[in-house]
Structure 1
């Protein structure tokens, strides 16, 4: 899910929240529900503004980071043979081009 930044001009607070692309916080109360925080003294019907920000990115540093974030890393070992160094569960560690049974399981890696 994407992370969005909002500003409440009334209390000058900025909150980063995660919600679906088809959702949007219009008021401080809605924003606090997304952020799972207490609205405090600011009235819940106070309007908020969504800010334009650079996308938040994850920069994996090693094979375990790649694996935990759902990426597959293939390393060429010999002519026509690759090693899946991020193989999980029942995935084949050896990947051969043209043999789909050895490919990483993308259905498990991609979710809603």
Structure 2
């Protein structure tokens, strides 16, 4: 399940929540229900904004095989596409 960052407009705080791609909460109350968060002192109707992040980017050095795939190192992908 993907992780998304949301900014709570009332406080400026950024919170990370995991949920399916099909859902997009618009208020603090919706985000709390979705992410199983405690409401705190933030009004439930406070808007939240989904932030653009670089999630899913993995450095080859963190993988078991630290070498970049051929398409990333200029060698081309066999069969025309490696999915990267």
Give me the TM-score of the superposition, normalised by structure 1.
0.49
Which structure exhibits the higher relative contact order, with contacts defined as CA atoms closer than 8 Å and separated by 6 or more residues? 2
Q: Decide which structure has greater strand share.
A: 1
Q: How far is the alpha carbon of 1:60 from its aligned partner?
A: 4.6
Task: Look at both structures and tell me which one has the larger radius of gyration over its CA atoms.
Answer: 1
**Aligned length, in residue pairs:** 62
Structure 1 runs, 4 residues or longer, greater than 6 Å off: none
Asked if the contact 2:8/2:14 (under 8 Å) is kept, the reply is yes
Give structure 1 stretches of 5+ with no counterpart: 63-112
Counterpart in the other structure of 1:24: 24
Give structure 2 stretches of 5+ with no counterpart: 66-84
